[in-house]
């Protein structure tokens, strides 16, 4: 059974950064991800706030980070961690996957999150038939077609702009009377002439073989209305992946995120957490900073 100083579970921006820092400290490390490196970060169409790049896609930045990380640490993609067992002795944890088993002195949880669903009628039925959670994956198929983007945060507005630039006819739908996104994104939405429907929720997604319309509910009056469209893109937040954290009895807050201290330590000794699975600001650069802190904390604790 292979043994490591640090095993990082998750190869998003935070996990890859942790791998870079861990490797440069001279420890033996492994990053494991159940998918391809980058996770939902691969879906980001454009970033304009990552230092050093005026504009870069999530996929492009992930590939650069992956290339740098693999010079410093071992990376296993498409390998799912199924169980973590606590041990006595120096190698405190056994990490079981669908392919192998490993022992490690410490663990960094970088398990990320997945797209939150609307829980609207028809949402699951029309997934892949007009319902999508990834503009960069599916936007090309909606050029010249009428679509809605549901959400009011940075990601929703970024993807609305991306879809508009592809040539889709985009309408933004948000349940509140103002967006939560950064002002410059809101300004870009106005400049692009993208339509908005505020104070509305999607109650039902309808169609025969493909999406044909959505039923909207006004959050103030309760009135229902029908909007003919060809596609529904959804960006209403994320659900943290805490299954492994729960196995280890790591403490979570009321929203289900991992509670960490300034050193990225959880309540369980030698278990650290970073990125979207944690309490805090959900930003790429924050996850990277947390990855650097966690790797350094782990190094000092096991040295």
Contact 205, 230 (CB under 8 A): no
Task: Please choose, from the candidates 200, 205, 277, the residue with its C-alpha nearest in 3D space to the C-alpha of residue 238.
Answer: 277
Residues sharing a CB contact under 8 Å with residue 111, sequence separation 6 or more, in sequence order: 9, 10, 240, 241, 242, 243, 244, 245, 277
Contact 274, 2 (CB under 8 A): no
**Domain 117-234 CATH superfamily:** FAD/NAD(P)-binding domain (3.50.50.60)
CA distance linking residue 102 with residue 30, whole number of Å: 10
2-114+238-302 and 117-234 agree in CATH topology: yes
Give the pLDDT band of residue 9 (cuts 50, 70, 90).
very high
What is the mean pLDDT of the segment spanning 199-225? 97
Give the pLDDT band of residue 47 (cuts 50, 70, 90).
confident
User: What is the reported pTM?
Assistant: 0.81
- pLDDT for residue 39 is more than 90: no
Give the pLDDT band of residue 282 (cuts 50, 70, 90).
confident
Give the end-to-end CA distance of the chain in Å, rounded to a whole number. Answer: 22
Catalytic residue among 138, 276, 278, 288: 138
The question of whether 288 is a catalytic residue gets the answer no
| DSSP β-ladder status, 131-132 and 231-234 | parallel
Contact 272, 107 (CB under 8 A): yes
Percent of the chain with pLDDT over 90: 88
Q: What is the pLDDT of residue 42?
A: 87
Q: What is the pLDDT of residue 84?
A: 97
The question of whether 138 is a catalytic residue gets the answer yes
What is the mean pLDDT of the segment spanning 120-134? 94
Percent of the chain with pLDDT over 70: 100
Catalytic residue among 2, 137, 177, 187: 137
Express each pLDDT in 156-209 by its tens digit. 999 999 999 999 999 999 999 999 999 999 999 999 999 999 999 999 999 999
CA angle 291, 277, 118 (to 5 degrees): 140
Which of 1.10.10.60, 3.50.50.60, 2.60.120.200, 2.30.30.90 is the CATH number of 2-114+238-302?
3.50.50.60
Domain locations along the chain: 2-114+238-302, 117-234
Task: Please choose, from the candidates 138, 117, 144, the residue with its C-alpha nearest in 3D space to the C-alpha of residue 205.
Answer: 117
Q: What is the pLDDT of residue 291?
A: 98
């Amino acid at each position: 059974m292979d043994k490591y100083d640090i095993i990082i579970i998750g190869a998003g921006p935070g996990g890859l950064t942790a791998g870079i820092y861990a490797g440069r400290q001279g420890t033996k490390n492994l990053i494991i991800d159940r998918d391809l490196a980058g996770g939902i970060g691969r879906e980001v169409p454009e970033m304009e706030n990552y230092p050093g790049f005026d504009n870069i896609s999530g996929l492009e930045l992930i590939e650069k980070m992956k290339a740098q990380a693999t010079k410093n640490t071992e990376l296993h993609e498409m390998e799912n961690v199924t169980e973590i067992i606590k041990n006595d002795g120096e190698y405190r944890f056994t990490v079981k996957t669908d392919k192998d088993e490993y022992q490690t002195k410490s663990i960094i949880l970088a398990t990320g999150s997945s797209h939150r669903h609307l829980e609207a009628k028809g949402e699951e039925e029309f997934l892949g038939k007009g319902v999508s959670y990834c503009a960069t994956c599916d936007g090309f198929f909606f050029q010249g077609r009428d679509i809605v983007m549901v959400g009011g945060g940075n990601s929703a507005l970024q993807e609305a702009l991306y879809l508009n630039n592809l040539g889709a006819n985009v309408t933004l739908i948000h349940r509140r009377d103002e967006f939560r996104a950064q002002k410059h994104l809101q300004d870009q939405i106005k400049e692009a002439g993208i339509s908005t429907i505020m104070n509305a929720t999607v109650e039902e997604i309808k169609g025969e073989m493909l999406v044909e319309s959505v039923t909207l509910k006004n959050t103030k009056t309760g009135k229902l209305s029908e909007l003919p469209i060809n596609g529904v893109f959804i960006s209403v937040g994320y659900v943290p992946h805490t299954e492994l954290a729960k196995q280890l009895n790591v403490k979570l807050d009321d929203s289900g995120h991992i509670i960490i201290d300034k050193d990225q330590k959880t309540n369980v000794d030698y278990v650290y957490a970073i990125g979207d699975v944690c309490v805090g600001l959900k930003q790429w650069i924050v996850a990277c900073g947390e990855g650097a802190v966690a790797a350094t904390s782990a190094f000092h604790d096991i040295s």
